[in-house]
Structure 1
Amino acid sequence: MYSESDLASAVEAGALSPAAANALRNYVAERRAAPAVDEEHFKLLTGFNDIFVAIAAALILVAAARIGAYFGVLLIGAGPEERVVGGNMIGGGFAVAATSWMLAEYFTARRRMALPSILLMLGFTGGIAAGLSGIFAANIPWIEQQMHLATDLQKQQLAGGVAAAVGLLTATATWIHWKRFMVPITVAAGALALVGVGVSLVLAFVPQAKDWVNEMLLVAGVAMFFFAMRWDMSDLQRRTRRSDVAFWLHLAAAPLIAHPVFHMLGVFDGEVTGPVAAVVIALYVAFAFVALAVDRRALLVSSLIYVLWAMYALFQATGAVELAAALTALVIGSALLLLSAFWQPVRRIVVGLLGGLEERLPPTQIVTA
């Protein structure tokens, strides 16, 4: 299976002429009776060998984590529990990060294998974050003593500052990984690290902000959505790596938007009333409108659990207790399948309603250029 990125790379390398690549795109689009962008391609597997290599790489990373943790404790020496935990995190985290980078030099830089590249990028980022956290964890008692921290507020500010520092350094390491390997999911991982930095700083220096976490995450999600749209608008035909980057950014932004909104409505706090369920369903319809406009389905997937719960509560309230779960699955499943089947005509209507924005959104018609 060849992705749009593979076709673009083949054209750049001279292995395929632009005319031949466009002819292939047009042929596939006409067979499917839909623009290629509507398929929302992203590279996850280049073949079963991706799964084989990913399993082997995962085993190696687990081994590296355990061996690294063992030597990390030996290196840092015995002491309070914080030092032991910190030693485990330092040794295990940095061992996983180093191993992930070395494996990526072959499986990502040379072989360009999709699933192993994603796994190794996550291993590198997670390993760096764990190792940096371990450094602070092992030295927290010493830091508190040196800074003469006595109150809970001071300790909270220290924890927030540490989390922000770890997030910023992790984001920097992620940027270095992106410059070397250009794995599309890397940008989303770095963006999430920066979100963690912002939230940590606010929580550290504004104690009342602990009551505003959902609002902060919502603002971060909206900002990440617009960042994803910037990548999307630079490749409306979705034929380059930029489209893959936008896909992962949308996937990261969607839960940051959906979860705070529905959490503030109290969907899971107790019994869902009829009015609340109606609001949840109305919001899901609004999310569907946005998803159709930008031709990305991430928002629909991220908010699906909430609309399922709200619909389930509605069926229970009407007395269909025994069949509530089955009726909910039937209604929502049927609606999503119908939306998928008629995605293109419905999307043309939605984009048509947006007027002047049509030129800044992915095309709704088959492009035969």
Structure 2
Amino acid sequence: MPELKLILDEATREGIIPVRAAERLLPFLIERGVKADGQPVEQRAEPTAFSDTETPSFVRGFHDVLITIGIIVALAGLWGIASVFAVLPAIVVLAEILVRRQRLALPAVALTVTLALWTAVVAARWLEGSPAVIAIGGNVALQYTLAFPVVFGLFYLLYRIPLALALTIIGAAVVVLQLVLRTLGWLSGDPLFEVNHPVVLSIIAIICAVGLFALAMKFDLRDPLRRTVNSDIAFWLHLGAAPALLYSVISLAGLSGGTLAALQTVSFRTPVVVATVVALMLIGLIIDRRAFVTSGLLSLGFALYGIFRQGDASVDTYIYITLLTVGAIVLVIGTGWMPLRRLVIRTLPAAMQEKLPPA
């Protein structure tokens, strides 16, 4: 069936609707569940078998890839020749052409990521700091993180990009974390509360990560067949919630400095890393989201590396053993995703199975 934009263009040429009405009708229909191929969700024929691929709708074709490469190269050149402040008008102009008018998905993602880098650099310059050295807590960190939900919230209102909404939500979660830490520091009279109470920090981070995951599942459950924009929003939220869950749990287990501590010492904490990664992989199988699998691979590699280091093998040997083990796990899960998922889904209650993507 012709794309929705082509249908609306033909309607304007025949004088059925005015041009301005067509421009406003296109995003209106897409936001309400009509895909770009012009066929509403409710009228689509049910597929004979549910596809096990988790391909986001922003991956469409090499045409979008070519334009995205042009966006990255052009903005990088503009950033270097002019200044960081010249990049924002360029992002807006490109978004007006490529997102609002042509509805290109992958370029929209590229522009959103560029806006994230722009926000990080400009906010750090405004606060006379650097994105790499801004602390977790404090007024400076709060002002720095507050810039992200504000910028991305405005960007989403203008162009309705799923990634922009996901980054708005993730940024808001970080701001909430900062506000809670600042409140606890004010009540306790300790300006370095998050440094002196790492366990409390980890617990609050876990609560925020669980809330992020719950919100992602809310979008996912609205679209179990992955056909509307809700699926794209859930994809990006899961991509942020999975590592947030992983590293906050690892931090609570006492791995100061993140998973790099597993390279230095091997104790009861290493099994905690492995168990957490396995749990996330199980969650990923249940909800049919591979983000929960990929987010834990790096930590799993560090944990296995620490285990193999206890042996008498040379450095090269246990590095290659770690790579081989992680690679084998990825291949087993990747090639057997649907059989493994069917095996796990069968153990769940029928009411839960009906709300999840088919296996």
**What TM-score comes out, normalization by structure 1 length?**
0.73
Within the alignment, does 1:357 sit opposite 2:342 as a pair?
no
Equivalent in 181, 184, 188 of residue 166 of structure 2: 188
Deviation at 1:297, TM superposition (A): 1.3
Residue 55 of structure 1: aligned partner? 69
**What does the per-residue CA deviation read over 1:156-210, in whole Å, with 9 as the maximum and x for residues that have no partner?**
99x8334434533431332222122222211221122213322333444413123
The answer on whether the counterparts of 1:50 and 1:113 sit within 8 Å (CA) in structure 2 is: yes
Other structure's SS at 1:277 match: helix
Partner SS, residue 142 of structure 2: helix
Letter in 1 for 2:345: V
Deviates more, 1:224-233 or 1:109-118: 109-118
Shift of 1:107: 1.0
8 A Cα contact 1:231 1:243, kept in partner = yes
The code of the aligned residue for 2:358 comes to: P
Preserved CA contact (<8 Å) 2:149 2:171: yes
Residue of structure 2 equivalent to 1:238: 226
Decide whether the 8 Å contact of 2:242 with 2:280 is kept in 1. no
Partner of 1:77 in structure 2? none
More deviation in 298-307 or 343-352?
343-352
Instruction: Map 1:214-363 onto structure 2 (within 5 A).
Output: 214-263=202-251, 264-266=253-255, 267-269=259-261, 271-273=264-266, 275-321=268-314, 322-355=316-349, 356-363=351-358
Q: Does 1:137 align with 2:128?
A: yes
Using the TM superposition, give the Cα deviation of residue 272 of structure 1 relative to its aligned residue in structure 2, in angstroms.
3.9
Give the RMSD, CA atoms, in angstroms.
3.2
Alpha-carbon spacing, 1:10–1:243, altered in 2? closer, same or farther (3 Å) = same
Structure 2 counterpart of 1:113: 104
User: Residue type matched to 2:277 in 1?
Assistant: Y
> Residue 360 of structure 1 aligns to which amino acid in structure 2?
K
Contact persistence 1:97–1:128 (CA under 8 A): no
Q: 1: distance between equivalents of 2:150 and 2:194?
A: 26
Following the alignment from structure 1 to structure 2, what is the Cα–Cα distance between the partners of residues 60 and 271?
43
Q: Distance in 1 between matches of 2:182 and 2:298?
A: 32
In structure 2, distance between residues paired with 1:109 and 1:302: 32
Instruction: Give the conservation status (yes or no) of the 8 Å contact 1:202–1:209.
Output: no
**Cα deviations across residues 1-47 of structure 1 (Å, max 9, x unaligned)?**
x99x9x95256x35x8976x426x43xx4xxxxx22x3112034433
Whether 1:22 aligns to 2:45 is: yes
Measured in 1, the distance between the counterparts of 2:88 and 2:237 equals 22
SS in 1 for 2:225: coil
Give the Cα separation in 2 of the matches to 1:276 and 1:170.
Answer: 34
How far apart in 2 are the matches of 1:240 and 1:100?
26
| Structure 1 CA distance for aligned equivalents of residues 41 and 293 of structure 2 | 37
Task: Tell me, in whole angstroms, the C-alpha distance in 2 between the residues paired with 1:196 and 1:18.
Answer: 37
Match of 2:179 among 189, 201, 204: 201
CA distance in 1 between counterparts of 2:337 and 2:120 reads: 40
User: Structure 2: how far apart are the matches of 1:17 and 1:296?
Assistant: 21
Once the two structures are TM-superposed, the CA of residue 252 in structure 1 deviates from its matched residue by: 0.9
Q: Is the 8 A contact 1:262 1:280 kept in 2?
A: yes
Partners of 2:170 and 2:237 within 8 A in 1: no
Residue identity matched to 1:39:
T
Pick the aligned partner of 2:88 from 89, 97, 107. 97
- Per the TM alignment, residue 293 of structure 1 is displaced from its structure 2 partner at its CA by 0.8
Q: Secondary structure at the match of 1:175?
A: helix
1:339 to 1:59, Cα distance in 2 relative to 1, 3 A: closer
Quick check: 1:167–1:197 contact (8 Å CA) kept in 2? yes
How far apart, in 2, do the equivalents of 1:316 and 1:126 lie? 38
Instruction: Give the Cα–Cα distance (whole angstroms) in 2 for the partners of residues 312 and 135 of structure 1.
Output: 41
Aligned-partner SS, 1:268: helix
> Any conservation in 2 of the 1:254–1:299 contact (CA below 8 Å)?
yes
Query: Contact 2:219–2:234 (CA<8 Å) still a contact in 1?
Result: yes
TM-superposed CA distance for 1:224, in Å, is 0.8
1:230 partner SS: helix
The separation in 1 between residues aligned to 2:181 and 2:78, in whole angstroms, is: 34
**Aligned residue-pair number:** 309
Alpha-carbon deviation of 1:118?
A: 0.9
Once the two structures are superposed, residues 73-94 of structure 1 have per-residue CA deviations (whole angstroms, 9 ceiling, x without a partner) of xxxxxxxxxxxxxxxxxxx24x
SS of the aligned residue for 2:260 comes to coil
Specify which structure has the higher proportion of helix: 1
Higher relative contact order (CA 8 A, sep 6+): 1
2:41 touches 2:227 (CA, 8 Å); kept in 1? no
In structure 2, relative to structure 1, the CA distance for the partners of 1:297 and 1:65 (3 Å cut) is same
